[in-house]
Copies of this chain bind each other. A is one copy, B any other.
Amino acid sequence: MGAMPSVPRRAAGRPPRISRTEIIDTARRIVDEEGVERLTMRRLAGEIGSTPMALYHHVRDKDELLLLLLDDYAARMMRKPGLPAEPRERVVVVAAAIRAVLAPCPWIAEVLTADDLMSESALWFVEQILDGLAECGLSPERAVHGYRAIWYYTAGEIIVRAAAARRRAGDDRPTYRDRVFAGLDGTELPRLAEVAPQWAPLTAQDTYLDGLRALVDGLTR
C-alpha cells in the first residue's frame, strides 16, 4: 500500500545501488522460505549482493526492517471489509478483519509486540474502530483506550494461539499442562477438575469473535 511517509529524496550524489523495495522483497523471501529467525542483516545483505552496512542507509535498524516487512505483508493482504451501519458491529467486523489477516502469518508474533499496529495500511482499520466507538458515544480519549483494549485482546489471541501451535507441532510428549491437570485436586479446584478433560478441545476452539463481541459490548455500554 501507499508510499512511505518519508519518500527518499532524490538529490545530488551517488545513485543508489539497492532500494528499500529490493531489501523488503528479499527479506520477505527469506522469511517465507526459512522463517524469521533466519533473517539477519548479514544474510540479507549477502543475498542482495551488498554489505550489511548498505542496508542501514535504507532502514534505521533491524526492528524497522521487521516493521516494514509487517507493513508490506499487511499492505498486500488487507482488504477493506464492507462496513455495517451499526457502529458496534462495524468495530467487530473491522477488528476481525485485522485478526484474519495477521493470524495465519506465524512470524508476526515477534513484530506484533511493536506497540501498535500502526503501519500505513492499518490506519484505515484503526480509523474505523475509532469512528465506530465514537459513534457509540465514547469521547476521543475513551475511543483510543477502547481501540487499545481491542488491540491487546487481538494481539494476545494471535500470539498465544501461534505459540500453542508452534509447540504442538511435531511433539507428542505430554505437555507440562497435561501433567499438572493429571494431578489436579478436585476438592480444592472443582471448577478446573470439571473442565480438565475438555480443556484441550475447548481451548482449541476459535472463540475470538465471542470474546471480541463481549469486549466491544462492555466498552460501549
Contacts and interface: CB of A to CB of B under 8 A. Distances in A.
Interface in A67-118: 67-68, 112-118
Contact of A154 (B117, B156, B198, B221): B156
Contacts of A157: 152, 156
A183 interface: yes
Interface in A162-221: 162-164, 166-167, 173, 175-177, 179-184, 188-192, 194-195, 198-199, 202-203, 205, 207, 210-211, 213-219, 221
Contacts of A213: 218
A1 to B, nearest CB: 10
A23 interface: no
A22 to B, nearest CB: 19
Interface stretch (A11-19, A25-33, A44-52, A136-144): A136-144
Residue with the highest number of chain B CB atoms closer than 10 Å, among A112, A148, A188, A203: A148
A151 B126 CA distance: 23
A200 B113 CA distance: 15
Interface size, A (range): 35 or more
Contacts of A164: 113-115
A163 B123 contact: no
Contacts of A156: 151-157, 159
Contact of A207 (B68, B114, B148): B148
A127 B189 contact: yes
A120 B179 CA distance: 10
Given A67-B176, A118-B177, A159-B155, A5 B217 contact: no
The 7 closest A-B pairs by CB, nearest first: A156-B156, A214-B218, A149-B211, A115-B164, A218-B218, A5-B183, A113-B163
9 contacts: A5-B180, A115-B160, A116-B160, A117-B180, A119-B176, A127-B192, A146-B214, A152-B211, A218-B221
Given A115-B177, A115-B203, 6 more contacts: A112-B160, A123-B189, A146-B211, A211-B219, A214-B221, A216-B218
